[in-house]
Amino acid sequence: MVCLVKTPGTVQICGDFKVTINQHVIVGKNPLSRIKYMIDKVNGGTLFSVIDLKDAYLQMLVAAASK
């Protein structure tokens, strides 16, 4: 891991996970749903929510014992 000094007063932690975490990631085998199907599924809904995962690009499953 490497710490980079960004704008004054901020630090960004960076890491090259190709040799550490990536080898343990299990890639999903299911295809992504088509947008038409997803729109049809929410048709008629009255309550919707949004979650912003833009900065959470390192999402991965964690073993129950590690939580």
Write down the pLDDT at residue 35.
87
How much is the pTM?
A: 0.30
Full residue range of the structural domain in which residue 55 is found: 2-66
Give how many domains the chain has, as a whole number.
1
Least confident range from 1-5, 40-44, 45-49, 56-60: namely 56-60
Nearest 5 degrees, angle CA 31-CA 37-CA 39? 125
| 8 A C-beta contact, residue 26 and residue 61 | yes
Q: How far apart are CA 43 and CA 25, in angstroms?
A: 34
Nearest 5 degrees, angle CA 63-CA 64-CA 67? 90
> 12 forms bridges with which residues in the sheet?
4
Q: Is the pLDDT of residue 54 over 70?
A: no
